[in-house]
Amino acid sequence: MKTQLELARDGVITEPMKEAAVYDDVCPEFIRDGIAKGTIVIYGNPNRKATVIGIGKGLKTKVNASIGTSPDIIDHDMEVEKAKVAEKSGADTLMELSTGGDLKAIRTRVLDAINLTVGTVPLYQAAIETINQKGSVVHMDADFLFDVIEQQAEEGIGFMAIHCGINLTTLERLKRQGYRYGGLVSRGGSFLTAWMNHNKKENPLYDQIDRLIDIMKKHDVILSLGNGLRAGAIHDSTDRAQIQELIMNSEIAEYAQKKGVQIIVEGPGHIPIDEIEANVIIQKRLSNNAPFYMLGPITTDVAPGYDHISSAIGAAISSSHGADFICYVTPPEHLALPKPDDVREGVMAAKVAAHVGDMVKLKDKARDMDLKMGIARRDLDWKTQYETAITAERAKEIRGDRPPMETDTCTMCGKFCSLKTVSKYYEEDLANSKKRDYAAATAE
Ligand code: SF4
């Protein structure tokens, strides 16, 4: 079986490419050409039917929602509910990142419950099952790790975050710079660091890269090169260890693409806003413009409880500079396992951020929605406002909770509605002249 990347290089337009084109309102040739160049990826695993979306250059910024149990809270029903809430709220993909309970059982339920493309970190399962059976991750068998990757690919996982770039060279950089102010926050990164340090061996995901590529290729799984050394604190951002891992990941990206595997490169983490542009430029430059998956980024360390906001600020700036895919952050980040309501808040914040970034990245194509909304607000056209809003459900909830006395206004100003007041005076003037409406604006 050829991967979507190999078929694109052959000039073929596949059904998934057509579906991704519809999702983003572009032509299928655009999707095919982006895949062939390695700047766009699409879901291609034939083992599960899922909504196909494209991630990459020239497309809308996509939002991922991550869910999953922890060792402390194992509630399968709640995780299924979170997955459904994420899909309903408009997440483009879902990562199932359970680390507590029966990992395969919960993953199976989530895969059955939603239509989104699902991603995983297979290392979690391999490490946790090893810890459960042998007491420590350092006893993890490389063959077992590859077996888990293959098993998850067979289940229809669309993309896998795999930490190939955290290797002995990367760890040497970390050691020489004197570790980290904020420690290592990537669970995958910490498992592999412990394994490599204890066993004095190279990361098998780096050492046996061809074995990994063979599995990804066989099932057309998108290889999302994980950021195991992402900064978990602002004062670690863009440090030598992070950049070293990015260099490794970019080399692997080029190699895997040549072999026909679709690639995403992951980025940090915690970054102050004045370093975000540099991070996007460096990633794009080193990886030949491979799709960039930004994890947040969280832009300050001092807002626990509101990290969906600190990360939305980072996500909007990342997207505006060219990041293609952002992972949401929920309000309980750094504090607790999210609940379904937290998932909704996280998805909505990330979707707003993605759109704000797209208004810069895609210009009029994204700003058209804002034009429609501006006119609908001016005309007190609530139906169009709801149809245009990416946050329509919440907007309806709020307005419905506090209904106005004059139904075309809202309870903010009531009968003193400034839009209504002004429109009275312009009605006559504009009746026989050109009114700035949607058709006029888009014709200009
Ligand atoms: S009442 Fe005030 S806030 Fe509400 S629509 Fe009119 S101008 Fe806007």
Q: Which long-range contacts (CB under 8 A, 24 or more apart) does 73-79 make?
A: 73/100, 73/337, 74/100, 74/101, 76/101, 76/105, 76/106, 76/109, 78/339, 78/340, 79/106, 79/109, 79/110
Residue 433: per-residue pLDDT: 60
Write the pLDDT tens digit of every residue in 95-106: 999 999 999 999
Check if 371 has its Cβ closer than 6 Å to any atom of ligand 1.
no
Ligand 1 centroid to residue 386 C-alpha, Å? 15
Is the predicted pLDDT of residue 122 greater than 70, yes or no?
A: yes
Residue 83: per-residue pLDDT: 98
Nearest Cα to 338, choosing from 364, 307, 317, 362? Answer: 307
CA of 418, closest atom in ligand 1? 7
Residue 229: per-residue pLDDT: 87
CA of 404, closest atom in ligand 1? 1
Mutate to test the pocket of ligand 1, among 377, 380, 409 (most ligand atoms within 8 A of CB): 409
Check if 422 has its Cβ closer than 6 Å to any atom of ligand 1.
no
Secondary structure of the chain in HEC code, one letter for each residue:
CCCHHHHHHCCCCCHHHHHHHHHHCCCHHHHHHHHHHCCEEECCCCCCCCCCCEEECCCCCEEEEEECCCCCCCCHHHHHHHHHHHHHHCCCEEEECCCCCCHHHHHHHHHHHCCCEEEECHHHHHHHHHHHHHCCHHHCCHHHHHHHHHHHHHCCCCEEEECCCCCHHHHHHHHHCCCCCCCCCCHHHHHHHHHHHHHCCCCHHHHCHHHHHHHHHHHCCEEEECCCCCCCCHHHCCCHHHHHHHHHHHHHHHHHHHCCCCEEEEECCECCHHHHHHHHHHHHHHCCCCCEEEECCECCCCCCCCHHHHHHHHHHHHHHHCCCEEECCCCCCCCCCCCHHHHHHHHHHHHHHHHHHHHHHCCHHHHHHHHHHHHHHHCCCHHHHHHHCCCHHHHHHHHHHCCCCCCCCCCCCHHHCHHHHHHHHHHHHHHCCCCCCHHHHHHC
Check if 389 has its Cβ closer than 6 Å to any atom of ligand 1.
no
Mutate to test the pocket of ligand 1, among 418, 420, 422 (most ligand atoms within 8 A of CB): 418
CA of 410, closest atom in ligand 1? 4
- Contacts of residue 43, Cβ cutoff 8 Å, sequence gap at least 6: 16, 20, 50, 51, 52, 53, 117, 158, 159, 222
Check if 412 has its Cβ closer than 6 Å to any atom of ligand 1.
yes
Write the pLDDT tens digit of every residue in 6-44: 999 999 999 999 999 999 999 999 999 999 999 999 999
Ligand 1 centroid to residue 76 C-alpha, Å? 44
Cis peptide before 183 (omega within 30 of 0): no
Which domains, from first to last, does the chain contain? 60-360 (3.20.20.540), 365-443 (no CATH)
Ligand 1 centroid to residue 383 C-alpha, Å? 15
Q: Which long-range contacts (CB under 8 A, 24 or more apart) does 23-30 make?
A: 23/51, 23/52, 23/53, 23/54, 24/53, 24/54, 24/59, 24/60, 26/58, 26/59, 30/58
Check if 409 has its Cβ closer than 6 Å to any atom of ligand 1.
yes
Write the pLDDT tens digit of every residue in 169-215: 999 999 998 888 888 888 888 899 999 999 999 999 999 999 999 99
How does the average pLDDT of the chain come out, rounded?
94
Pairing of strands 117-120, 292-295: unpaired
Mutate to test the pocket of ligand 1, among 399, 419, 421 (most ligand atoms within 8 A of CB): 419
Write the pLDDT tens digit of every residue in 85-96: 999 999 999 999
What average pLDDT does this structure show over 369-390? 95
Residue 178: per-residue pLDDT: 87
Mutate to test the pocket of ligand 1, among 381, 412, 420 (most ligand atoms within 8 A of CB): 412
Q: Which long-range contacts (CB under 8 A, 24 or more apart) does 420-424 make?
A: 420/380, 423/378, 423/379
Residue with CA at minimum distance from ligand 1 atom 3: 412
Ligand 1 centroid to residue 403 C-alpha, Å? 12
Check if 417 has its Cβ closer than 6 Å to any atom of ligand 1.
yes
Check if 352 has its Cβ closer than 6 Å to any atom of ligand 1.
no
Q: Whole-model pTM?
A: 0.95
429 vs 281, 288, 441, CA distance in Å? Answer: 50, 55, 19
Mutate to test the pocket of ligand 1, among 385, 413, 416 (most ligand atoms within 8 A of CB): 413
Residue 296: per-residue pLDDT: 85
Report residue 415 as tokens: 């009968």
Write the pLDDT tens digit of every residue in 223-252: 999 988 888 899 999 999 999 999 999 999
Counting every residue, how long is the chain?
444
Write the pLDDT tens digit of every residue in 397-417: 999 999 999 999 999 999 999
Report residue 102 as tokens: 């029966």
Check if 379 has its Cβ closer than 6 Å to any atom of ligand 1.
no
Residue 437: per-residue pLDDT: 77
